[in-house]
Chains A and B, each alone.
Chain A
Amino acid sequence: MALLEVRGLTKAFGSLVALGGVDLTIGENEFHGLIGPNGSGKSTLMRCVAGAELPSAGIVRFVGRDITAAAPAKRARAGLALKFQITSVFPALTVYDNVLLALQAGSSTTSLLLSRTREALRERVMHLLERFHLAQRCADRAAVLSHGQQQWLEIAMALACTPRLLLLDEPTAGMSLEERRITGELLTPMKNECSLLIVEHDLDFIRNFCDFLTVLDQGEVIDSGTVSQIQNSREVREVYHICV
């Protein structure tokens, strides 16, 4: 059974059709890249899968369950995590508290009121911060982190929710070359933990660790397959005049 199954997904904003019947399937522990020019509907597709937008038509199934109309919180609890295109950490909270906030999300209200897991989660928070090179900044406000560090923090927060599918919308946008390299190193080991759907403009970056690619243009799927299949796809070359 596929982890994520999207069938005929359509999203229209007034007369503008951002997605026109998109199909997409992602399996367990699969790294799936979503590429296409600006305005091709990549982020809209991500947002429809995560619940930030409700599709006009079509079905989104996650682990066999229809989540097309489910609220974002319900999807998150089912195992879907999203890193937004625009960095959206909690700037006034400390780096530590940002990760704690994500880690404790599954706790009950009573447990949160009594702070039952604050101590128990300490090691997991620090482990995640160390993994994302943020342990030394744990007591700083998230607002004072560099752009790249904020992106890492947001990925760490998404991972803290122990997702089965992590949606990353342009995780390296605005990063330096060095930061991109580190981000690649951070993402690669995640294959053992979850599946990944990643939107990225940097094609060199994405083809290094994605198993499959889906190419979108004007809200429609142009081609889908392994990286080598897409590299040899005539349609993709003709439409984009690019070498993937």
Chain B
Amino acid sequence: MVAAPSIGARSPCGYQRRVIPLLEIALFVTFAAAPIVLQDYITVFVTRALIIALLALSFDLVWGYSGIMSFGQALFFGAAGYGVALLARDLQITSAFIVLPAALVIGLISSLAIGAFLLLGRQPPTTIFVALGTLAGSYVAERLARDWYYLGGENGIPSIPPMTAGGYEFVEGQGYYYLAFTVLSIVYFVCRFVVRSQFGLALAGVREQEARIAFLGYEAQHMKLVMFSFAGAIAGLAGGLYAFHEGFVWPNMLGTVLSTQIVLYALLGGVGTLIGPVIGVMAVEIAGFSLADSWPKSWPIVLGLLLLLTVLFSPTGLIGMVASERERLGDFGRPALRARHADAEPDDGAT
């Protein structure tokens, strides 16, 4: 028997160099301080990017963590955007304590309905089936919004009043920036908790060998539906924030272009880590923002090439260039192993 002592020899999981927590702290501090030094129009731009990062995070949860290829995350984003816009237009409800939970619930319910249809069946659905199903859902929703007079047709719903909290109005600028930043931070840490939990381990099993895990007693499709709905709720929350930030909603918010864009952002940053999609969104948005002035016509081509090169030469995205595979995948038993290591510490010291 070949045996290479590892944990007992105090190596692998205890003393591994870890990059992702450092990146998380660096980004958190940077985002927290950014509005102090940034000009107002850049703050508005970064606010939009933070909201899009929430949407990218929702895609990452379904593809990177649950193995569900969704080309329809914009559907839940847009549906929630339209939902809160209607609340504001028809019922004059703009309170953040109502519209944000409402956006979350709209995202949750719409994704639960579509997820139940696509994911639950006697046989597990193929990746292509789910990808095409979500893509079709997104396309149909966009077409519906374009042709539905009540939803404003091609023009969407304009002039949404600002979101409020008590007497405070969240308007573009620092106030809205910190609202979006707070929501993103909370969602990020909730996601972190989920993907590192024992449920996250079960998801890792589903991702690796979906056919196998059922023989251990797991209901893989139900677990996928839980994650699809959870991600849909996050997409909905992002849609609600986006609608009030922009002041209007329009059919593109539901459509396939935005859905595909989100896939590319997440792939560029690196799916399967939570920080990857945030980095991907920031990288593309900042690159686009910087290049748009210098090369107004050709920057999308440059951006497309960069995306293509990254996906070709670093399939694990930008995060894969700095974080090891082991760190990206994680060790779910690490707390237990650390405890074991601590138990063994006196003996080790004696030797």
Q: Which residues of chain A have a CB within 8 Å of any CB of chain B? A: 50-52, 71-73, 76-77, 81-82, 84, 88, 90-94, 96-97, 100-102, 104-107, 109, 111-119, 121-122, 125-126, 133, 135-141, 146, 148-149, 157, 161, 178-179, 182
Given the known A-B contacts A88-B209, A92-B204, A112-B199, are A105 and B218 also in contact in the complex, defined by CB atoms under 8 Å? Answer: yes
User: Does B337 sit at the interface, judged by CB under 8 A?
Assistant: yes
Residue contact A94 to B333, C-beta cutoff 8 Å: yes
Q: Which residues of B contact A73 (CB under 8 A)?
A: 214-215, 217-220
Residues of A within 8 A of B335 (CB): 118-119
Partner of A139, one of B12, B202, B329: B12
Hey, which chain B residues are within 8 Å of A92, CB to CB? 204, 208, 325, 329
Q: What are the residues of chain B within 8 A of A109 when measuring CB–CB? A: 199, 223, 226
- Whether B205 lies near A93 (C-beta < 8 A) is yes
B6 lies within 8 A of A97 (CB) = no
Cα(A161)–Cα(B2), bound, Å? 26
Complex Cα spacing A101 to B219, Å:
13
Residues on B with beta carbons closer than 8 Å to the beta carbon of A81: 215-216
Asked if B339 is at the interface (CB within 8 A of a chain A CB), the reply is yes
Contacting pair B198 A107 (CB below 8 A): yes
Q: Which residue of B lies closest to A114 (CB)?
A: B197
B332 CB-CB contact with A under 8 Å? yes
Total interface residues on B, using CB and 8 Å?
43
- In this complex, what residue of B is CB-closest to A157? B216
- Residue from A93, A102, A118 in contact with B208 in the complex, judged by beta carbons closer than 8 Å: A93
Within 8 A of A (CB), among B149-201: 194, 197-199, 201
* Complex Cα gap A96–B204 (Å): 14
CA distance A100 to B213 in the complex (A): 13
Task: Identify which of B11, B198, B214 contacts A117 (C-beta below 8 A).
Answer: B198
Residues of B with C-beta under 8 A to A112: 197-199, 201-202
Query: Closest CB of chain A to B184's CB: distance in Å?
Result: 21
The residue from A104, A121, A141 contacting B202, defined by CB atoms under 8 A apart: A104
Q: Which of B2, B198, B332 contacts A149 (CB 8 A)?
A: B2
B binding-site residues for A, Cβ under 8 Å? 1-8, 11-13, 194, 197-199, 201-202, 204-205, 208-209, 212-220, 223, 226, 325-326, 329, 331-333, 335-337, 339-340
CB-contact partner of A72 in B8, B214, B332, B337, under 8 A: B214
- B interface: dominant SS: helix
CB distance from A197 to the nearest CB of B (A): 14
Establish whether residues A101 and B337, one from each chain, have CB atoms under 8 Å apart when the complex forms: no
B212 and A77 contact, CB distance less than 8 A: no
Query: What are the residues of chain B within 8 A of A96 when measuring CB–CB?
Result: 331, 333, 336-337
B326's nearest neighbour on chain A, judged by CB, is A141
With both beta carbons as reference points, the residue of chain A lying nearest to B335 in the complex is identified as A118
For B218, list chain A residues within 8 Å (CB).
73, 105
Q: Which residues of the other chain, B, contact A115 by a CB distance below 8 angstroms?
A: 197-199
Q: Do A102 and B197 touch (CB < 8 A)?
A: no
Residues of chain B lying within 8 A (CB to CB) of residue A149: 1-2
Cβ A91 vs Cβ B208 within 8 A: yes
Q: Tell me how many residue pairs across A and B have CB atoms closer than 8 Å.
A: 147
CB <8 Å contact, B3 and A137: yes
Which one of B194, B217, B326, B336 lies within 8 Å of A113 (CB-CB)? B194
Min CB distance A4 to B, Å, is 16
B3: chain A residues at CB < 8 Å are 133, 136-137
CB < 8 Å neighbour of B13 from A77, A111, A137, A139: A139
A93 and B204 in contact, given A100-B333, A112-B197 (Cβ under 8 angstroms)? yes
Q: Are B217 and A119 in contact (CB under 8 A)?
A: no
Min distance, Cβ A17 to any Cβ of chain B, angstroms: 23
Other A-B pairs beyond A90-B212, A92-B208, 10, CB < 8 Å: A76-B216, A90-B204, A93-B205, A97-B333, A102-B216, A115-B198, A122-B333, A138-B7, A139-B11, A139-B12
A106 contacts B217, CB within 8 Å?
Answer: yes
Residue of B1, B4, B201, B340 touching A182 (CB-CB under 8 A): B1
| Nearest CB of A to B158, in Å | 41
Min Cβ gap B12→A in Å is 4
User: Min CB distance, B146 to chain A, in Å?
Assistant: 39
Q: Which residues of B contact A138 (CB under 8 A)?
A: 6-7, 333, 337
The answer to whether A118 and B1 have CB atoms under 8 Å apart is no
Q: Note all chain B residues with C-beta closer than 8 A to A139.
A: 6-7, 11-13, 331, 337
Report, nearest first, the 4 A-B pairs whose CB atoms are least far apart.
A76-B217, A112-B199, A122-B336, A105-B217
Given contacts A113-B194, A179-B1, contact A136 B8 (CB under 8 A): yes
- Contact: A146 with B2, CB < 8 Å? yes
Residue of B nearest to A91 (CB): B208
Chain B residue at smallest Cβ distance from A96: B333
A84 touching B199 in the complex, CB below 8 Å, given contacts A125-B336, A179-B1: no
Which of B202, B212, B340 touches A88 (beta carbons < 8 Å)?
B212
Which residue of A has the minimal Cβ distance to B212?
A88
Across the interface, do A100 and B332 meet the contact criterion of CB distance under 8 Å? yes
Say how far A102's CB is from chain B's closest CB, in angstroms: 5
Minimum CB–CB distance from A136 to chain B (whole Å) comes to 5
Query: Are A101 and B194 in contact, CB atoms less than 8 angstroms apart?
Result: no
27 inter-chain pairs at a CB distance below 8 angstroms, sorted by A residue, are A73-B220, A76-B215, A76-B216, A90-B209, A90-B212, A91-B208, A93-B201, A96-B336, A97-B333, A100-B198, A100-B336, A101-B204, A101-B205, A102-B216, A106-B217, A112-B197, A115-B197, A115-B198, A117-B198, A118-B335, A119-B339, A122-B339, A136-B3, A136-B6, A138-B6, A139-B6, A178-B1
